[in-house]
Amino acid sequence: MAMRQFLVRRLLQGILVIWGVVTVLFGLRAVSPGDPATLMLGEGANRELVERVREEEGLNEPIYVQYLDYVGGLLQGDLGYSWQSNRDVTAMVIERIPATIELTIAATIVAIVIAIPLGVVSATRRNEPSDYGATLFSLLGISTPNFWLGLMLILVMSVWFGIPYPTMSTATVPVGAVRIPYPSYIGYDFYGFPTGRRGVGFPDAMRALVFDQSASELGAWLRYITLPALTLGTYFTALITRLTRSGMIDELGKPYVTATKAKGLPNPLIRYKHVLRNTMIPIITVLGLQMGTLMGGAVITETVFNWPGLGLRLVDALRIRDWPLMQGIIIFIALAFIVINIVVDALYTKLNPQVSAE
Amino acid sequence: MKGANNYTTNRRNVLRYTAGASTIGLASLAGCIGDADDDEGNGNGNGNGNGNGNGNGVDADELTITLSQFPDTIDPLDHITGDYFDIYDHIYEPLFDFVPGEGIFPRVAEDWEPQDNGTTEVYLREGVSFHNGDTLTAEDVAWTINRTVDPDIGVQSPIGTFGLGSITGADAVDDTTVAINYNASAGLAEFEFGNYARAMNRQWAIDNYDAENEAISGADPEDFNGTGPYQVVDFVSGEEIVVEAFDDYWGDEPPFETVTFNASGESSSRVAALETGEADVTMNILPEDVNTVQEAEGVDIRNITSFRTIFCPMKNTVAPFDSQDFRQAMNYAVDNDAIVNEILSGFGEPTSQPVAPGINGYNPDLEPYEQDIGRAESLVEDSGYGGAEITLTAPQGRYLNDAAIGERVADMIDQLDNVSCEVDIVDFPVVSDANQAGVDPDEFDIPFYMIGWGTITGDTDYGVQGFFTIPDNPARTFDDEELSDAILETQQIDDVEERTAALQDVNAMAREKAPFVFLHTQESIYGAESSLEWEPREDETIYVWEMSR
C-alpha cells in the first residue's frame, strides 16, 4: 500500500478514536455526580445564581444538545472554559505542554542511556552475575511504583543528601551541604537536588547559554529535571533493557553472527556494529510508542515532583472536578498518542522496507 | 539505492549517537553512584546538617511559602479558595483587619459608621496608592464591591454569594467615603464586608482587562495591581509568584523584602521542601507526616483548631431522623475523643455545636455529647425506631482522613444493639449534592452523610443559615420552624452584643435539636522554619505581615 493511502487510513482511524474518546468523556461527565453549576460556584452558593449559571452554560439543555454543542466547539478548536478559573481550556493545556514534553524526552533519554548498555551486557553475558543483576534491575524497575520511587528519590537525594539552593550563583553555601562534584567549566556548584518544581524551562536555559554564554540556567534546569526524569524513566528503562536483551539474544543466534565470527571479527565489533544495529528497529518503535504512554503516565511523577506539566494540571482538575479542563487534557493526550503512533508506524515502514504499510 | 544509503546512514548515526550517549550516561551514572557511596557517611551527617542549613543559610529578608494549591486565576475576585487568598491578600489587601474571635479593625478603611437605612458608610484612609501609582478612591472600592456581588458585572464571584451574602451593593459618597448597602443587620454585614471587602483599581481593570465583562487574566507581573504591602515582581503561571515590598505602601514596612509563593499538592512533598529549606512555611500537613517534621531539625509543627467543623447532617423529613430522640441517640453513640485521638492523632477538637470556637456567637457553655451507649440505646427505643437500618455516606479525600472517620462513626453507631449502620464511601460531589438537595424526600436519596463547613466570615450566621433557615432556602438540610425563626431574628438585631447572645442561643438550640451528629473541628497543621515567629490563625489565613524572624 502506498504510504499516502496508509497515512490517510491511519488518520481516519485516529479521528474515529478521538471521537470515541470525546464521546466517552462526555458520557462520563454526564453520569458523574456533582452539579456543574454548584461545582463552579462552590458549596452553598446562592440558588438564584446557580440557576442563572445553569442557564448561561446551557446545562439545562437536553444532553444531546449539550453534546452537539461540545463537539461543535471542539471542531473549532474550542475546548471550553475551566469551571474553576474561567480561563480558556485550550490556553491552559497549551501552557503546560512544554514542561511535559521536556520531562518525557528527558525520561526517554534516561531510559536509552541506561537501558541499552544494560541490555547488551545482559544478553552477551547470559547467566552470569551481570545478567542476573540487569534482570533484577528490570524486575525492580517494572515493579516499583512511580510515586514511591519519586518520594524515595526526594528523601535520599534532596532531604538526606544536600540542601538545594535554587539561586546557586548568589546563594551562600549552606553549612553541612555536600558538594557533588560537577565539571568546573560549567561554573556551577551542585548541592543536591530540589524536591520538586521546574525552576527553569529548557528553552530559557538554552537562550541563556546561547545569548548570555551562561551555563547556570542549564545547570539549574538539569538539577530540577533529574529526579523526575529518573523516576519517570525507570519503568521505561526496565522495559527497554528487557527488549534489548531479548532482541540481542535472538540476533546472536542467527547465522550471520556465526559467519562474522568465522571471519575473525572481534566480539565488540560484532555486538555493537552488527547485532545491536539489527536489534534497534523494534526498540525505536517501542521508544516512539512509549513516549505517548509517558506523556499520559507522567501524571503521578508530575504530582509527586510538583512538575507543572499536563499531568499535574490533570490531577488538579480531578481534585476540583473541573470537567472541561479534564476533558481538554485527556483529549490532548489521546491526540498526542495517536499522532505519535502514526509517525512511528510511518517511520517503521520507512526504516524497515521489509515491513509493508499493511 | 539512494534511499537505502540514506537509511543506512541515518541508522548508523542513530546508533553512533545512542552508543555515545549511553557511554556518557553510564559514566555519569557511575560517577554519581560512586559519589553517593563515597559520601554516604557525610550524607547521613548532612541529614543533621539540614538543621544547620535551615538555621545558618536562612536569609532574613526572604521567605518562601509553599501552599497546597497554586491559583489558576489571577483575578482576586474570581475564587473563594483559602490558598488563593493567602497569596492575593498580600497584593490586594483587605480593607479591614479581621481578628478571629474579636471582630474587625481599621486598616485601609479608617472608620465606619452604620446609617439607619441598611447602609454603612466606610471612611477610607487618604494617600493609599495602587502599585501602578494611582491613588485609591471610594469609587474603586464601591466598584470592587459591586463587581463582587452583582452577577451582571465582571465575574460570577463565589465571594459574592458566600462571603458577601447580605451585601446588595455599594456607592461612592465622596472621594474617601463608600456607602455599603445590605439587607440584614449592620452587625452581620460588618462581618461580611470586614472579611471580603477589597479594592481593585477600577480604571486599570476596565481599560486593560475588560473587567466588567470577564475575569482578569494574564501572565506578567504587571497583570497585578493592588494597594497591598507587596507587589508582584515575578510570575510564572501555575508555578510561582514572587512579591517584593511595595515602596509606596501607606502602612508599616512589611517584615520580609521578598516573598515567594509556590504550591505542592502532596503533603509529603511539602514536608520535604520544608526539611530542605526550600520552604519556610507550608500548610495542610497530614497527621501521618507530622512526626517527620517533628523529628527534623530546624523546623517545627504549628497547629491550631480551625473554623472548619466536621459533622453528619440528618434530614428530619424522613424516618428515623424525624425523631429528636433518635438524632440525639446518634450523637450519644459516637465517641469523638476516640476519633480525634486515634484517627486524627489528636489534631482536632470534639464539637458541641454547628460552629467552632472563635466564631462570633459560639456558645462556650455547651459541652460536646459524650459517648453513652446505654443512653443512646434507650433514646432509640423512646423514638420508636428500634431496629432501624441506616447508611452513613462519607466523602473520601476532602477532609483530614475523612473516609476513615466516616467508617468509624458508622461502626460506633452499628455497635448499638437496636440500630444497624453501614457506611458508603463516595466521591465528594455525591456528598455535596446530598447537601444541596434540600429536605423534600422526593428530591434526595441520601438523608445521612458526613460533610465539613468552614465558617469563613467568622460569624455564626454563615455556619447555620444555609443549613437551617426555611424561607427562600431550598438547599436546607433541616426543617424546623423554631430554629429557622431564631436565626432569622438574629439577622435583624442591630445591637452587636444582643445579636451575639441571640446567636449563642441559636447554637444551644441546634445542639438540643441535634440536626447533625456533631463530630469535631478540624485542626490546621502547618510546618514552619523554627526561627520564624508566627502563630497560625483559626481562619486558615496566612499573612506575612504577622510573621517575623
- Report the C-alpha gap between B77 and B54 in whole angstroms: 36
Chain A: closest CA distance from residue B81 (Å): 10
Q: Is A308 on the interface with B (CB under 8 A)?
A: yes
- Report the C-alpha gap between A271 and A284 in whole angstroms: 18
Instruction: Identify all chain A residues contacting B42, using CB atoms and an 8 Å cutoff.
Output: 178
Which among A110, A159, A313 has CB closest to B275?
Answer: A159
Nearest C-alpha in A relative to B396: A319
Instruction: Identify all chain A residues contacting B148, using CB atoms and an 8 Å cutoff.
Output: none
In chain B, count of helices (H) and strands (E)? 17, 17
Which among A112, A315, A316 has CB closest to B22?
Answer: A112
Using an 8 Å Cβ cutoff, are A342 and A14 in contact? yes
Quick one: how far is CA B41 from the chain centroid? 43
Task: Give the CA radius of gyration of chain B.
Answer: 27
- Residue type at A118 in one-letter notation: L
Instruction: Identify all chain A residues contacting B284, using CB atoms and an 8 Å cutoff.
Output: none
Q: Can you give the length of chain A in residues?
A: 358
DSSP B351: -
Instruction: Identify all chain B residues contacting A178, using CB atoms and an 8 Å cutoff.
Output: 39, 42-43, 46
Q: Check A109 against B21: CB less than 8 A apart.
A: yes
Distances (CA, A) of A185 to A188, A208, B25, B26: 8, 16, 18, 21
Q: What are A160's three cell numbers?
A: 538526606
DSSP B533: B
Which among B53, B426, B428 has CB closest to A174?
Answer: B53
Using an 8 Å Cβ cutoff, are B46 and B277 in contact? no
Beta-bridged to residue B97, according to DSSP, are B105
Q: Can you give the length of chain B in residues?
A: 549
Residue in B535, B66, B539 with CA at minimum distance from that of residue B548: B535
Torsions phi, psi for B224 (to 5 deg): -115, 140
Residue in A53, A43, A49, A320 with CA at minimum distance from that of residue B467: A43
Q: Check A42 against B80: CB less than 8 A apart.
A: yes
Which among B7, B56, B151 has CB closest to A174?
Answer: B56
Using an 8 Å Cβ cutoff, are A145 and B19 in contact? no
Per-residue pLDDT of chain B (549 residues; tens, 9 = 90+): 333 333 333 433 433 444 444 434 433 333 333 333 333 323 232 322 333 333 334 567 999 999 988 888 899 988 777 788 899 999 999 999 988 878 899 999 999 999 978 999 999 999 999 999 999 999 999 999 999 998 888 887 778 777 888 899 999 999 999 999 998 889 889 989 998 899 999 999 999 999 999 889 888 999 999 999 999 999 988 889 999 999 999 999 999 999 999 999 888 899 999 998 889 999 999 888 999 999 998 999 999 989 999 999 999 999 999 999 999 999 999 999 999 999 998 899 999 999 999 899 999 999 999 999 999 999 999 999 999 999 999 998 788 899 999 999 999 999 999 999 999 999 888 888 888 888 999 989 999 999 999 887 889 998 999 899 998 888 899 999 999 999 999 998 988 899 999 999 999 999 999 999 999 999 999 999 999 999 999 888 999 999 998
Instruction: Please give the ipTM for the structure prediction.
Output: 0.81
- Report the C-alpha gap between B475 and B210 in whole angstroms: 34
Distances (CA, A) of B59 to A171, B216, B262, B549: 9, 34, 18, 10
Instruction: Identify all chain A residues contacting B273, using CB atoms and an 8 Å cutoff.
Output: 195-196
Dihedral of CA B355/B356/B358/B362: which sign? positive
| Close Cβ partners of B222 (under 8 Å, ≥ 6 residues apart) | B132
Which among B44, B156, B428 has CB closest to A41?
Answer: B156
Residues 245-304 of A with CB under 8 A from B: 272, 276-277, 280, 284, 303-304
Q: How much is the pTM? A: 0.82
